[in-house]
Amino acid sequence: MEITVDLVDDLAAGATLLGSGGGGDTGMAARMLRHALSQYGPVPLISASDLRPDALVVPIAATGSITVMIERLPAGGCFVNAVAEIGRLARRPVAAIHGFEVGGANSLFACAAAAWTGLPLIDADGMGRAFPRVDQVTFNPGGIAAAPAVLADTSGNLVSISVARDNADAERLLRAALPALGGWAATAIYPMSARQAAECGITGSISGAITLGQRLRDSQRNPRGRVGMLADFGADLLFSGGVVEVVRHPRPRTGGALTIEHQGAAERTMRLEMADEFLLAIDGGEIKAQVPDIICVLDSRTWEPVLAETIAPGRHVNVLRIPAPAAWLAPEALPLVTPEAFGLRVLDGPGTLPPQSPTV
C-alpha cells in the first residue's frame, strides 16, 4: 500500500476521530502532507517485518503547541534534520519512519516525514489514538528507551537528549526544551530495531485510520445509519443531546468538564471529563467509557468530530465510544493511561463516581 494524495483526507478524518477530542487540528498537517506527496511522490506503507530485524526505525512526531505551530509553520527540513541526527547518534542509517501517535495531526506528520526523507513508513504507531505525553506509548512498557531523542526547530537548531533515567524523565526534559525552540519541535524519539517495532508497535494503525476515515466521510455524506457505518471498529452510541455547560480549569492546569443534556429527556445528563482529550463519559453517575477507551464527540448535524479545546455550549452532539486499543489493556501498559494517570480519581468502585467533581 502507498500513501497518496487522494488518501490524505481519509487519513485526516480517521486521525481526528482517533484523537478522542485531542491530537491537534489536522487541517494544517493535511495541507502540508498533500504538498509533500505532490513534491516527492507516494509514501510506501510497509510492515516492520519487511525490514531486516536489526534495521533502525525511528518514530516521528511534532511535539509542543499546535497553536504555535500554526503561527510558525513546520518545514520539511526540521524533520529531515531530526531523523539524520538520530542516524548519526546511532552510527547507522535510519531504514524507516515509524508512526508515533495515530490520533490527530501526528499521523500526518509521520507520513510527511517519510516523504521528506525518502523513507518508507511502517504501518504502526505507539498509541493507537492520541495521548498528551511522550511516555504514554506502547514502546514504554515494551522496554524501549525514549532517548536518544532529537528535537529540531525551523531555524536549524538541534537539541539532543542523550540519556534519560526513564521515559517519564525524557518527557520532562523534552517539555523543558520546547520553549527555547519556539514552542514546538520536530521530534525523533524511541529509536528501535525493526524487531522491537514489530513487538511493541500497534500494527496496522495507519491503514486502519485511513479505513476509519473513509467510513466516517461516507457517514457524513449519508446521515442514515451513521453509527452502523463505524460498527466494524466497535463504535457504539452513548449519548445524544445539547451541550449546556463547559467548565475549563484555569492555566497552568488543563482540561475541565462539560455537561450534555439528553435530547429526549431533559432530566438526563452526561458529564464528560477532559484534559487534552476526553477521558470519562459519565451518564447519571455511571461511567460508560473511560480512557484508554476512545471517546468521540461528533456534531449531530455534520458528524464532524469536535475537539475538546473548541467545544462550547449550545452545540448538539453525539458521544461515541470506540474500544481501547488492545495493547493498552495489558497489565504492564494500562497504568500509564487510566483516569488516575490524568489525575482523575474514581472513588466509589468501578462504574461510579463520587457526587463531586473528580480531582484533575
Question: By the 8 A CB rule, do 79 and 117 touch?
Answer: yes
Whole-Å CA distances, 252 to 102, 180, 248, 249, 299: 26, 18, 11, 8, 29
Is-cis flag, bond preceding 313, omega within 30?
A: no
Phi, psi of 61 (to 5 degrees): -150, 160
Supply the pLDDT for residue 224. 85
Sign, Cα dihedral of 36, 135, 255, 334:
positive
Q: Provide the Cα torsion 138, 144, 147, 149; round to 10°.
A: -50
Supply the pLDDT for residue 13. 98
Rounded-to-integer distance, Cα 273 and Cα 311, Å: 13
The stretches in the chain having pLDDT less than 50 are 252-253, 349-360
Rounded-to-integer distance, Cα 185 and Cα 206, Å: 22
Question: By the 8 A CB rule, do 121 and 99 touch?
Answer: yes
Supply the pLDDT for residue 352. 43
Q: Which three cell numbers stand for residue 170?
A: 525524557
Contacting residues for 19 by C-beta, under 8 A, at least 6 apart: 26, 103, 104, 129, 130, 277, 305, 307
Whole-Å CA distances, 305 to 63, 108, 239, 299: 22, 17, 15, 6
Tens-digit pLDDT profile for residues 331-353: 999 999 999 999 998 765 444 44
Supply the pLDDT for residue 250. 76
Question: By the 8 A CB rule, do 23 and 277 touch?
Answer: yes
Hey, which residues does 158 pair with through a beta bridge? 152
Tens-digit pLDDT profile for residues 68-97: 776 677 778 999 999 999 999 999 999 999
Q: Provide the Cα torsion 302, 308, 312, 315; round to 10°.
A: 30
Question: By the 8 A CB rule, do 78 and 85 touch?
Answer: no
Q: Which three cell numbers stand for residue 15?
A: 486521525
Rounded-to-integer distance, Cα 194 and Cα 119, Å: 14
Q: Is 331 left (phi over 0), alpha (psi -120 to 50) or beta?
A: alpha
Q: Domains in the chain, please, with CATH?
A: 2-205 (3.40.1610.10), 225-342 (2.40.390.10)
Supply the pLDDT for residue 357. 37
Supply the pLDDT for residue 345. 82
Supply the pLDDT for residue 347. 60
Question: By the 8 A CB rule, do 314 and 285 touch?
Answer: no
Rounded-to-integer distance, Cα 45 and Cα 201, Å: 14
pTM for this predicted structure: 0.93
